[in-house]
Amino acid sequence: MKDREEHLARAVGHLIGIRNECSCTIVSECGLPDVTVKQAAYLRMIDEHGDITFSRLAEITRTSKPTVTEMINRCVGMECAYRERCPDDGRIHYIRLTEKGRAIARTERTALRRTIERMMNSLDDRETDLLIEILGKVR
């Protein structure tokens, strides 16, 4: 029994390693290998919410506006985000993502897609169908 668990642990660990490798490659492709988990999380929230203001991002993250401003200033400095003035109310600024910012925000989805591509390139159709069936049983 222990042998099977160890084999499964190695196999799952290998799969997680491939996914992490894909994530690192994506972040490196953006030229930002030192982006922090927190910065990536902010970029993800901006990407998910679309038209988002500093106040709204502070609400979502349950942080202060100065904290959000500091984080966005870092993202602007990394060329991942920029501010855009609201055309209807010049006091309001929206936070927008650059292409680089969007790529980092979507790293997890892209890494998963690349991992699946690698899996499908390694397996034939029958093996892929079997893997789908087996993974569908995992709860």
Q: What pLDDT score was predicted for residue 108?
A: 86
Chain position carrying tokens 């200033």? 73
pLDDT in tens, 30-89: 887 778 888 989 999 999 998 899 999 999 999 999 999 999 999 999 999 999 999 988
**Amino acid identity, residue 68?**
V
Say whether pLDDT at 24 is over 90.
Answer: no
Query: 118, exposed or middle or buried, with CB in 10 Å at 0-12, 13-18, 19+?
Result: middle
What does the alpha-carbon distance between residue 11 and residue 69 come to, in Å, rounded to a whole number? 43
* pLDDT exceeds 80 at position 100: yes
Q: What is the pLDDT of residue 33?
A: 74
Identify the CATH class of 35-104.
mainly alpha
Mean pLDDT, the chain, rounded, equals: 91
Where in the chain are all domains bearing CATH 1.10.10.10?
A: 35-104
Whether 135 shows a pLDDT value over 80: the answer reads yes
